[in-house]
A and B are shown apart, each in its own frame.
Chain A
Amino acid sequence: MTQFRHQNIDLNILYTPDKKELYKRVERAVNLGYDAVAINYFVENIIQEKKSKKPKPTVVNPENIKLNKDDVKKLQEICPHFTQYTRCTWILSDPAAAHFAQTHKEVQAYDIQAVLPTNEKVLHMACNQLEVDIISLDLTESLGFHFKRTSIGVAIRRGLHFEIIYTPMINDHFSRVNIICNAQSLISICKNKNIILSSACDNIMLLRAPADVSNLCCLFDMNQSYRKATVGKNCLNVLSRAETRKTAKGVIMIQKISDLKKHQRHLIPDSSSDSDVVDLNSDKDEESSSDEELICKKAKAE
Chain B
Amino acid sequence: MVRFKHRYLVAEVNFADGRLYDQNLNGKMIYKCLLEALKENFGDYGYGSIKTNLRVKYVNPYTRIAKIRCKRDMKDMVQAAMFFIKKVENVPAIFRTLHCAGSMRSCQKFLVEYNQQELAKIVRACKDPEEKRQMLRSINKSDFGDDEFDDNLDIDVLNRLHGNDG
By a beta-carbon cutoff of 8 Å, the part of chain A in contact with chain B is 32-33, 77-78, 80, 169-170, 204-205, 207-209, 211-213, 215-216, 218-219
Contacts and interface: CB of A to CB of B under 8 A. Distances in A.
A300 B140 CA distance: 49
Contacts of B132: none
Contacts of B84: 169-170
Interface string B2-38: 0000000000001010000000000000000000000
Contact of A219 (B80, B86, B94, B97): B80
Nearest to B42: A219
Interface string B83-124: 110100000101111100000000000000000000001001
Contact of B83 (A77, A204, A205, A208): A208
B16 A205 contact: yes
Contact of B76 (A33, A207, A215): A215
Nearest to B82: A212
Contact of A215 (B86, B92, B97, B121): B97
Q: Determine chain B's interface SS by DSSP, over half rule.
A: mixed
B76 A205 contact: no
B60 interface: no
A208 B80 CA distance: 11
A212 B121 contact: no
Contacts of B14: 32
Contact of B97 (A169, A207, A212, A218): A212
A204 B92 CA distance: 11
Contacts of A211: 96-98
Nearest to A219: B80
B94 A205 contact: yes
A212 B165 CA distance: 25
Given A32-B96, A218-B76, A212 B83 contact: yes
